Amino acid sequence: MSRSARGGSSAIPDVYLVGAGQSDYGAFPDESYRSLFRTAYEAAVESAGGVDPGDVDEAVLGTLGVGGRQLGLPGPAVTEHVGLHGVTCTRVENACAASGYALRQAVMAVKSGMADLVLAGGVEVMTDMSTEATKYWLGVSGETEWERLAGTTFSGVYAQMADAYLREYDVPREAMSHVAVKSHANGAKNPHAHLRFTCTVDDAESGTVVADPLTLYHCCPTSDGAAAVFVASEEVAQSYDDKVKITGVGAASDRVGLFQRDSYTSVPASKAAGDEAYEMAGISPGDLDFAEVHDCFSIAELLAYEDLGFCERGEAGDLALSGTTAIDGELPVNTSGGLKSKGHPIGATGAGQAVEAFKQLTGGAGERQLDDPQRGLTHNVGGSGGAAVVHVFEREDAEPAGSTDGAEGGE
């Protein structure tokens, strides 16, 4: 328990990331969910310049179910494994947004005064399964009765969104392919990425059709991996060298089944989560210097551009084609490679996005380091939009919102 919980009423603290790390994302038949999480934990500890396990008040683990290995109590199973004996660990799940919500819960734990230092992370093991089992594990996050049991896969759901979007706004499929090319170009520079190769628009366009209009290059891989971050109160953060302030948090839910929603060409939960995060942070989309968005399929990145206010409705294709969201553009998106190239170990994805934000804002992004970014956003979606969570991160010495050269836009 933190000092403030013991000491009675005090002010709600500001919250910081003080360390962040991840395992490689990929196919690792010799790893377990515990060993992967340990790798991420140790990387986060190292990035924080060392963390005394006795200082950790709490942990939150996001996972869809560690590939069925430990369906109940995976939280304590991983924290005990990394040496945080006795530290309470809560598992949270909102499908592919599990660890985005774990991070949000860690923020709440610190702001509540009930914890001063919280480990938030996620892990998934997905490749050591038959194709049928993997389909099941992914499918369970779709609406069960009328999507999964009727045979609809996630590729099918997002293909319906893509088809509707491309038709409604008369956008060429090449726009999705440009997103894929950009993701791979960035991921090729990320030593932790699953698919570290570049590709061309022709490759993407001529790829095997998974679910029309999506080709293989428009779909993220199935990955194993883990990611972890340390969230601290302002007071505790002073003990750490690198600090990134979490200034905005937003989250929203929606009907789980795509067929239950009014539109196939936007994700209302993303828009609501983004609006809430911007309001809390006191910024607008134009104040961002980069974003990590949830591109499980390339169409999802286009929809995110619009739902998060990077451009107007129907203009995401132009934004992608113009290079604005490339690593050398005005608003780089998915410098990590995104889910498409970095990989998508379901429970790890949201925390992994926060790892990239931490690295970019502390100058640790290596070959894909942006030039002096002040402020970034992460956006993590569950299922086809049944849940979405957005965080805004700022450098401690960030210039005030409105003064930076972010992208223009917003509805």
Which stretch in 21-29, 155-163, 253-261, 310-318 sits in contact with its own copies by CB under 8 A?
253-261
Q: Is 342 helix (H, G, I), strand (E, B) or coil?
A: coil
Amino acid residing at 388 = A
Is 320 among the residues that bind its own copies (CB under 8 A)? Answer: no
Out of 268, 314, 364, 410, the residue judged to bind its own copies by CB under 8 A = 268
Q: Is 391 helix (H, G, I), strand (E, B) or coil?
A: strand
Q: Residue 230 forms beta bridges with which residues?
A: 19, 119
- Residue 344 is among the residues annotated as catalytic for this protein: yes
Is 276 among the residues that bind its own copies (CB under 8 A)? Answer: yes
268 vs 329, beta carbon nearer its own copies: 268
Out of 27, 35, 53, 88, the residue judged to bind its own copies by CB under 8 A = 88
Name which of residues 366 to 395 contact its own copies (CB under 8 A). 382-383, 386-387, 389
148 vs 178, beta carbon nearer its own copies: 148
Out of 49, 71, 200, 400, the residue judged to bind its own copies by CB under 8 A = 71
Is 77 among the residues that bind its own copies (CB under 8 A)? Answer: yes
249 vs 311, beta carbon nearer its own copies: 249
Catalytic residue selected from 178, 184, 194, 344? 344
- Residue 96 is among the residues annotated as catalytic for this protein: yes
Shortest reach from residue 304's CB to its own copies, in Å: 18
Is 250 among the residues that bind its own copies (CB under 8 A)? Answer: yes
What's the rounded Cα separation, in Å, for the pair 83 and 41? Answer: 10
Preceding omega of 213 cis (within 30 degrees of 0): yes
Is 345 among the residues that bind its own copies (CB under 8 A)? Answer: no
Out of 19, 26, 67, 113, the residue judged to bind its own copies by CB under 8 A = 113
Is 50 among the residues that bind its own copies (CB under 8 A)? Answer: no
Q: Is the dihedral of CA 316, 386, 92, 127 positive or negative?
A: negative
Which stretch in 89-97, 169-177, 317-325, 333-341 sits in contact with its own copies by CB under 8 A?
89-97
C-beta separation of 116 from 3 below 8 A: yes
What's the rounded Cα separation, in Å, for the pair 71 and 74? Answer: 6
Q: Residue 61 forms beta bridges with which residues?
A: 91, 121
Per-residue binder mask for its own copies (CB under 8 A), 9-28, x = binder: xxxx-x--------------
Which stretch in 235-243, 247-255, 304-312, 372-380 sits in contact with its own copies by CB under 8 A?
247-255
Out of 134, 160, 253, 284, the residue judged to bind its own copies by CB under 8 A = 253
- How far from 112 is each of 9, 109, 220, 370, CA to CA, in Å? 10, 5, 36, 34
Q: How deeply is 397 buried, as exposed, middle or buried, from its count of CB atoms within 10 A (0-12, 13-18, 19+)?
A: exposed
What's the rounded Cα separation, in Å, for the pair 95 and 97? Answer: 5
52 vs 170, beta carbon nearer its own copies: 52
Pairing type for strands 375-382 and 117-124 reads: unpaired
Out of 141, 183, 336, 360, the residue judged to bind its own copies by CB under 8 A = 141
Shortest reach from residue 378's CB to its own copies, in Å: 16
| Residue whose structure tokens are 């996001």 | 62
Is 94 among the residues that bind its own copies (CB under 8 A)? Answer: yes
Is 281 among the residues that bind its own copies (CB under 8 A)? Answer: no
C-beta separation of 15 from 232 below 8 A: yes
Name which of residues 162 to 221 contact its own copies (CB under 8 A). none
Out of 19, 21, 67, 76, the residue judged to bind its own copies by CB under 8 A = 76
104 vs 184, beta carbon nearer its own copies: 104
Is 75 among the residues that bind its own copies (CB under 8 A)? Answer: yes
Q: Is 225 helix (H, G, I), strand (E, B) or coil?
A: strand
C-beta separation of 385 from 236 below 8 A: no
Amino acid residing at 250 = G
Of residues 221, 159, 411, 170, the one with CA closest to residue 305: 411
Strand order in the sheet with 375-382: 58-62, 117-124, 225-233, 15-22, 244-253, 387-395, 375-382, 290-292
Out of 26, 67, 121, 142, the residue judged to bind its own copies by CB under 8 A = 142
Catalytic residue selected from 96, 199, 219, 220? 96
Q: Is 157 helix (H, G, I), strand (E, B) or coil?
A: helix
Is 79 among the residues that bind its own copies (CB under 8 A)? Answer: yes
Shortest reach from residue 383's CB to its own copies, in Å: 5
How many CB atoms are closer than 10 A to CB 116? 24
Q: Which amino acids are annotated catalytic? A: 96, 344
